[in-house]
Structures are given as C-alpha cells and as structure tokens.
Amino acid sequence: MPLETIHKTTGKQSVAPNLWDYEEVRAGFTWDAARGELDGLPGGGLNIAHEAVDRHLIQGGGERLAVRWLGKDGTVRDFRYRDLAELTNRFANVLRGLGVEKGGRVFSLLGRIPELYIVALGTLKIGGVFSPLFSAFGPEPVRARMEIGDARVLVTTETFYRRKVASWRSELPGLRHVLLVNDPEMPLIEGTSDFTDAMAAASPEFDIVPTGAEDMALLHFTSGTTGRPKGAVHVHEAVVAHHITGKYALDLHAGDVFWCTADPGWVTGTSYGIVAPLTNGVTMIVDEADFDAERWYRILQDQGVTVWYTAPTAIRMLMKVGAEIAHKYDLSAVRFMASVGEPLNPEAVIWSQQTFGRTFHDNWWQTETGGIMIANYASMDIRPGSMGRPLPGVEAAVVERVAGGGVKPLDRPMATGELALKSGWPSMFRGYLHEDERYAKCFAGGWYLTGDLAMRDADGYFWFVGRTDDVIKSSGHLIGPFEVESALMEHPAVAEAGVIGKPDPMAGEIVKAFVALKPGHEPGEALRKELLGHARRRLGPAVAPKEIDFRTNLPRTRSGKIMRRLLKARELGLPEGDLSTLESDES
C-alpha cells in the first residue's frame, strides 16, 4: 500500500488508511495476529504500561514526543516517551514504598494534568489497578466509587481533597494513602503526603512487575438503572483491543498528532486518551482547559493535529458558534475525525463535511466493551446517522431475548432489537466488582447484551435506536438515575424522587428530577433552589439534576418501584404505554 494516497472524496492528499479495505482486513483478522503486534513483557507476561511506554524505548523511539500538555494558563510541557518511562518508573517506586502490591487499587481524582497520566501508567507498572474518577464528581460519587473499589491510594489535589474527600475519609480505613499534587507554597494537610516530593525521592529505575494477560488492570465505574455504580473490571489483555482499535477505527499511524478531547475520568479518556495513542506511538495532545471553540480550533491548527477524536455534545457546541470561526483557522493537517459517546446526528456529519471538508466518523462502544466495537472507517463511505460496522474480530448482532434465558438474532434488515456482541474480545470486561450476578445477567447464549437498542441495515451498518434501560446520557456522561435519586432523598424535605433524562438539543439529555415532599414542606422556588444546590454539592455539576419539578406523589409499580418511564412519557407528552403494573399514581 503506498503511504500517500489521494482522499477519495475531497481530493486532498492523505495517508493510506490502516484498514484499507473492510472486507479484506476483516476476513484475514485474528486476535492472535493482533496480539503479535505487541511485544509482551521481556520476561513473559503482558502489561499495558510496557506496551504503551517502555517498548518504544526498546525499539529506539524514546526521543519521540509522547505527550504535549497544554496548560490553561498557556504553559506547554512536553514529555518524550523516555520522560514518560522515567516518570512512571518513579511513580511505581513511590507505590512500592507505600507497600502497594499487585492488585492494589490506586484512584485518581485529577483534572487533565500531567500527573494523571503518570499515575495511570505507573500504577500499571507495579501491577496495581488504576481507577480514574471524573474531577467534576461531587463527594458522593467519589466516595461510593472508592468504597466499592476498595481504594488503597488516592492521588488528588488539595482543593479536591478538601471539597470531595476530607469529610468522609475517616470512614474509609482501607484508604491508607493520599498523595496531593500541591501548590508548593501550601502547607501539607494532615494525613496526606506530597506527590511531587515523593516523586523526587523515588528512583527512576523500575522493572515492571510481571503481570499476566488476565490480571486486573483498570477499574472503570459505570451506572445502571438500579443500585450503586458498577465497577467494570478490565485486564491487561485489553491493551490488544486498545491498540488495534486505535489503529483501525481511529486510523492512528506512528507520527500522528492525536487529540482525544475526552476526560480520562471516563473510559474513553483512558482507552483512547492514554493507552491506544501511546501503544500506536503517536504524539498525544492533552488540553487542561474546558471547551472553548476558538481555543479548540487554535489547538488543532497550532499543534498540527492529524487525528481528532471528540464527542457529539462538543460538535454541537462547535456548530452553534458557527462555521465562520472554524474558517479563520488552518485545519488542513487534520486527516481523520471521529466521534463517540452519544448519537451523532446526521446534521453534524453533514455540517462537518461542509465546514472542514471532512466528516466526523461515528463509532460506538461502552465502558464494558473497553474499546471501540462498531465504527465508520477512514476507507469506508459514511452513512450519516449510522454507527458503522463491527471491528474486525468483533461479531455484532441485533437480538431479542427469548424465554428460558437465550437470545435470538434478528436477521431481518432494520429490525429493532438489543445490540449484542459475541463474547470473547480482549477488552471485554471481566466482571462487575463484587457483583457476579449482575455480571452474569449481561450474557446469554454466548452473547454479551449491551443494553442498547439498535438496527442493522442490509449492508451490515448499525443504527442506534436508544437504551433498554433508564440510564441518562448527558454531555456524553452516563448517569445512573438511582444515584441522583438517593442524593435527593437525603434531603430532609424529600419523601421520594424519580429521575429521568430529558432530551436537550445541546447535551443530548439533561438530568431532570421529580420530587414529592414530606408532610410539612411546601413546594416553591426557594425549596427548588435549595434542592438543586443540595444535589450539586453532593453529586457535582456533572451528575446533579438541572431541573426539579414537584409532585404530590410519584407513579409506582405494585412492587413499589418508581415508574421513570411514565414520568418521562408525561414530561414529553408521549403515549403512556402499558400501565398494568401501575399501583399508585402522581397527582
């Protein structure tokens, strides 16, 4: 394959796609061959951090730029693969000094700062389990996840520690060590130690602890309709899928400048904001700042970004500010653009073609799959609104559940059913922590059932329809209604709460709560504000409801469950559907 070809639709010169022909690559693909693209540990075994960082040094790529970090204040910090190797060795030694052993859980609660990347990869080097928390979580989501995940070490900042951890820390005795990335001028808080000092005192030499393919490596929390957050367990073998999906779905080539705008507090920001770009030997851009259209275009231009991976909410925000701003910048270096996390509206695909001369390529996956499963590829014509076709090595189907616990694939084109994946790809989650039954329920007849509804057309392209459950997708973040309801119920005025996702043109959905009050409390604007504030303090801005409505009662089933489906139908003026299980009703 010649490296430089002419892009078939735009006429622009571009790099030949890694996945040059879908059918051909898929036919010849085996996961064993994909494993062969990685090295394995020198003494045997597999470790994500070795594949992401150290192996580049062995192969003579140590001087290449691994990470360019752009600070909010204009600071730029560059890390070569060699620097990353040394810093992650140091952090592995810090953890060793703290007595962390293989399997020890290390959590981060950090914004997009260099320390986050060092903590993630250093933890993997010592055979520990890395679990990132989103920095916009409030104290409740942070605490729940660290409790479920048996956190041993937390790396955070002084501000986050004071606001989100200090009040409950003593109730989590298993959390032995808190390292703070501090302002050097600040005195240390009791019971914590200083990250920078610990790093400076640690040796830059470290031999990666030999981990096996099935050893636990990453713990990503996700949400369901009921119960507490679920800790999806991923193992070192996931790196095989991270690598190959980075190569095929994102078309990463060594030497690319890649920008994944997702926060590493969520799975996309780990699989494609840390691991896949590094295993593929690219330079990744990390921007500390929040979304800002001009800033983003300036980054794309000034950093010469070649591959850009972002999300529909961000694309809609770019559409809102208008194409004229985009046209002020030279974005000609951008070769491939991809999107994930929520449905990508066809208008956004068309807008991107008109604005950038290139289309966003939608792809689909979820926390449990660990990596991209369905994608629109660089070499394939896009069908705007479709998520694309399954990765080589991935078998996807639209199925219906049948009596007795099995599933039946629906072969008729455009039939709606549950999206299912034949189990067994390397980055498949290996469990929900401490919840074997919940895990087992996700599988039937050799298929993993995703909880999404989809259709497949006659040519094998998949189309997203919706969710089978009540989880909410807001700005690309998956939110469990139960977690929000529980926080609202902690308020002394609240008798019951029901939470839904309300469609929103920008965020996809916003979190909306319906609340019934205890006797003696009257609905009103002051109480609404108080409840919004209460939820925001507990849950953080990413999870808290944006709207609260008062109801005298909430609709419940005979078994006492709040019928969120009905709350949603009424909110949106949709048919109320089957009400046979309705026991009490709102009034």
* Residue ranges binding ligand AMP (CB under 6 A): 222, 267, 340-343, 362-364, 366-367, 387, 450-452, 464, 467, 473, 478
At closest approach, how far in Å is the CB of 274 from ligand AMP?
15
At closest approach, how far in Å is the CB of 322 from ligand AMP?
24
Strand partners, 409: 399
At closest approach, how far in Å is the CB of 260 from ligand AMP?
13
Q: What is the DSSP letter of 38?
A: S
Nearer to ligand AMP, 343 or 498 (CB): 343
Nearest to residue 286, comparing CAs of 321, 254, 257, 246? 257
Nearest to residue 301, comparing CAs of 243, 349, 257? 257
At closest approach, how far in Å is the CB of 459 from ligand AMP?
18
Nearer to ligand AMP, 165 or 472 (CB): 472
Six-digit token pair at 46?
């597999």
Return the HEC string of 187-224: CCCCCCEEHHHHHHHCCCCCCCCCCCCCCEEEEEEECC
Nearer to ligand AMP, 279 or 367 (CB): 367
At closest approach, how far in Å is the CB of 345 from ligand AMP?
10
Nearer to ligand AMP, 256 or 470 (CB): 470
At closest approach, how far in Å is the CB of 439 from ligand AMP?
15
At closest approach, how far in Å is the CB of 463 from ligand AMP?
9
At closest approach, how far in Å is the CB of 223 from ligand AMP?
8
Nearer to ligand AMP, 151 or 344 (CB): 344
Contact 245, 276 (CB under 8 A): yes
Residue ranges of E strands in 371-493: 374-375, 389-390, 396-402, 406-409, 417-422, 431-432, 443-444, 447-456, 462-467, 472-474, 477-479
Nearer to ligand AMP, 116 or 419 (CB): 419
* Gap between the Cα atoms of 519 and 522, Å rounded: 8
Nearer to ligand AMP, 118 or 267 (CB): 267
* Gap between the Cα atoms of 419 and 53, Å rounded: 35
Question: What burial letters (b/e) apply to 263-272, b meaning 16+ CB within 10 Å?
Answer: bbbbbbbbbb
Within 323-392, where are the H helices?
323-327, 346-356
At closest approach, how far in Å is the CB of 293 from ligand AMP?
22
Strand partners, 401: 407
At closest approach, how far in Å is the CB of 416 from ligand AMP?
14
Nearer to ligand AMP, 90 or 477 (CB): 477
Sort 505 into a burial class: Cβ within 10 Å, 0-12 / 13-18 / 19+.
Answer: exposed
| Residue length of the chain | 587
* Gap between the Cα atoms of 568 and 349, Å rounded: 29
Sort 189 into a burial class: Cβ within 10 Å, 0-12 / 13-18 / 19+.
Answer: middle
| Helix and strand element counts for the chain (H, E) | 20, 32
Nearer to ligand AMP, 215 or 342 (CB): 342
Nearer to ligand AMP, 229 or 555 (CB): 229
